[in-house]
Amino acid sequence: MADQVRILCVDDEENILNSLRRLFMDEEFETVISGSGAKALEILGSGRDFAVIISDQRMPGMTGTEFLAQAREAAPEATRILLTGYADIEATVDAINRGGASRYITKPWNDTELLQTVKDAISSYLLRRENRRLAALVQQQNEELKEWNGNLKHRVLEQTADIRKKNGELQELIDHHQKNFEDTIEAFSNLVELHNPGVRSHSRNVARIAVRAAEILELPDPELKTVRVAALLHDIGKIGGPSTPALRDTVTQGTRDLTEYMQHPVRGQAAVDGVEGLRAAGVLIRHHHEHYDGSGFPDRLLRAEIPPGAQLIGMADFLEIGLRGFQGDNAVELALAELKKQLGSLFDPELFPAVARAALEVCDAFRAKSGLEEREVSSTGLAEGMVLSRDICSGTGLLLLSKGIELDADNIQALRRNYRLDPPKGGVFVLVRK
Ligand SMILES: [Fe+2]
Ligand SMILES: [Fe+2]
Model confidence at 36, in pLDDT bands (50, 70, 90)? very high
Give me ligand 1 centre to Cα 129, in Å. 95
Residues 204 and 350 in one domain: yes
Residues 393 and 343 in one domain: no
208-240, pLDDT tens digit by residue? 999 999 999 999 999 999 999 999 999 988 886
72-112, pLDDT tens digit by residue? 998 888 999 998 876 677 777 777 777 678 888 888 889 99
Can you list the alpha helix ranges (DSSP code H) found in 220-263? Answer: 221-232, 247-250, 255-262
146-197, pLDDT tens digit by residue? 999 989 989 999 999 999 999 999 999 999 988 888 888 888 887 777 776 6
Residue 411 lies in a domain: yes
**Considering only CA atoms, which of 286, 326, 324, 310 is closest in space to residue 199?**
324
Residues 269 and 387 in one domain: no
Range of the domain at 393: 378-434
- From 132, 152, 180, the end of a domain falls on 132
Residue 191 lies in a domain: no
Give me ligand 2 centre to Cα 321, in Å. 8
CB contact at 8 A, 404 and 428: no
296-339, pLDDT tens digit by residue? 999 999 999 999 999 999 999 999 988 877 766 677 888 999 99
Question: What pLDDT is recorded for position 406?
Answer: 79
Residues 364 and 219 in one domain: yes
Give me ligand 1 centre to Cα 369, in Å. 30
Q: Which ligand is nearest to the CA of 315?
A: 2
DSSP β-ladder status, 30-34 and 52-56? unpaired
Q: Which ligand is nearest to the CA of 285?
A: 1
Give me ligand 2 centre to Cα 247, in Å. 7
What are 126-132's contacts with CB under 8 Å, separation 24+? 126/5, 126/51, 128/77, 129/49, 129/77, 132/77
Q: Which ligand is nearest to the CA of 199?
A: 2
Give me ligand 1 centre to Cα 262, in Å. 8
- In this prediction, residues 268-275 reach a mean pLDDT of 90
Whole-number Å distance between alpha carbons of 227 and 76: 88
In this structure, of 48-52, 99-103, 415-419, the range with the lowest mean pLDDT score is 99-103
The more confidently predicted of residues 200 and 314 is 314
Residue 175 lies in a domain: no
Question: What pLDDT is recorded for position 139?
Answer: 95
Residue 285 lies in a domain: yes
Q: Which ligand is nearest to the CA of 318?
A: 2
- From 132, 154, 174, the end of a domain falls on 132
Residue 145 lies in a domain: no
Model confidence at 252, in pLDDT bands (50, 70, 90)? very low
Give me ligand 1 centre to Cα 251, in Å. 13
Helices and strands in the chain: count of H runs, count of E runs: 15, 10
Residues 105 and 223 in one domain: no
If phi > 0 it is left, if psi is from -120 to 50 it is alpha, else beta; for residue 201 that is left
Residues 219 and 363 in one domain: yes
Residue 65 lies in a domain: yes
Ranges 168-182, 250-264, 282-296, most confident = 282-296
Give me ligand 1 centre to Cα 342, in Å. 17
Residues 114 and 42 in one domain: yes
Give me ligand 2 centre to Cα 394, in Å. 22
Q: Read off the pTM.
A: 0.55
Kindly report the backbone phi and psi dihedral angles of residue 34, in degrees, each rounded to the nearest multiple of 5, phi listed first: -145, 140
Q: Which ligand is nearest to the CA of 231?
A: 2
- From 132, 150, 185, the end of a domain falls on 132
Give me ligand 2 centre to Cα 254, in Å. 19
Any idea of the CA torsion for 166, 171, 176, 181, to the nearest 10 degrees?
Answer: 130
Residues 35 and 77 in one domain: yes
CATH number, domain at 285?
1.10.3210.10
Q: Which ligand is nearest to the CA of 289?
A: 1
Q: How big is the CA angle at 274 (ends 227 and 289), to the nearest 5 degrees? A: 40
- The percent of residues in the chain predicted with pLDDT above 70, rounded, is 90
Give me ligand 1 centre to Cα 294, in Å. 17
- Tell me the CA end-to-end span of the chain in Å, nearest whole number: 103
C-alpha R_g of the chain: 51
Residues 410 and 388 in one domain: yes
Give me ligand 2 centre to Cα 199, in Å. 9
Give me ligand 2 centre to Cα 323, in Å. 13
Residues 346 and 215 in one domain: yes
CATH number, domain at 121?
3.40.50.2300
Instruction: Please give the tally of structural domains in the chain.
Output: 3
Residues 383 and 286 in one domain: no
DSSP 378: -
Q: Which ligand is nearest to the CA of 245?
A: 2
Give me ligand 2 centre to Cα 166, in Å. 43
Give me ligand 1 centre to Cα 256, in Å. 17
Residue 302 lies in a domain: yes
Residues 287 and 414 in one domain: no
Model confidence at 243, in pLDDT bands (50, 70, 90)? low
Give me ligand 1 centre to Cα 218, in Å. 25
